[in-house]
Amino acid sequence: MLTTFVYLLIGHIFWQYEFGPKLGEGSYGYVHAGTRCKDGLKVAVKIAEKTPNMPYIRVPGHPKRLPMEIGLTLVANEGPSVPQIIKLLDWQDDPDHYVMVLERPIPSMSMFSFVKLRRRLNEGMARNFMWQVIHAANICCKRGVFHRDIKLENLLVNPDTLEVKLINFGCGTLMKDSAYVAFNGKEMFCPPEFDVDGRYHAKPATVWSIGILLFVMVCGYFPDDKDLHMISKNDWSNTDLSQECCQMICSCLHPDPQRRLVLEEMQLHDWFML
């Protein structure tokens, strides 16, 4: 902690932002509430410790290589503004850590907390959230970013407006057509083809994650082995859900990635037409 703030004293962020209470903490480091001094804008300040093998990437317009998370967040924000993707407002790259200043919607809470409070969501609310998540995932892929960790904890919800923002690109990587052979996200969101073959592709894996997300939203729990078996046979249903919603879940969670719903076509599914 002391070392971090010594470096912040050297960098510009310490002087341009006022630090508030801690909002969260994880293996990456921690996030503080903050305020931009010049205009009072409320922000989140993420301070992440560097590891010896932490990846860097080159981003057009930046002379030096950047830590992967900073670079991916910048690339995801390139082009027209997308409200469903968290904005990176400032950053600082120091020898043993890096700092990211991100927008902080007020009010906001994680999707995990939002669903936990309600136990499960009605289909209308879930549909609204899913449209936003799918849009964010599509934009990221189009801009060359594979988020790779779309889960409840990495979605911010404004409980007043029900607007959603995709956050935390720390497990992400650059898009490629070939297969990936490492998975860094939460185990339940890992696509089955990785367990079977040790490899997976970006878009089908993203659809799997979104399918798990939808299941948890409308059911209030993660699918177990019995659920996944029934889904694999396209024979899963829930009396509290519409047929279209059940079919959407089955199409997202097909064990064969080639038969899974296509990411770019998700918003055309019958469930979104209700």
201 phi-psi bin (left φ>0, alpha ψ -120 to 50, beta other): beta
Q: Is 7 helix (H, G, I), strand (E, B) or coil?
A: helix
Of 96, 149, 177, 270, the active-site residue reads 149
Q: Taking a C-beta distance cutoff of 8 angstroms, is the pair 156, 109 a contact?
A: yes
Q: Is there a catalytic annotation at residue 149?
A: yes
Kindly calculate the radius of gyration of the chain based on its CA atoms and give it in whole angstroms: 19
Q: Taking a C-beta distance cutoff of 8 angstroms, is the pair 203, 262 a contact?
A: yes
CB neighbours of residue 65 within 10 Å: 13
Smallest CA-to-CA distance from 203 within 150, 164, 249 is with 150
Beta-strand runs (E) in the chain: 17-26, 29-36, 42-49, 56-57, 66-67, 88-93, 97-103, 109-110, 145-146, 155-157, 164-166, 173-174
Query: What residues are annotated to the active site?
Result: 149
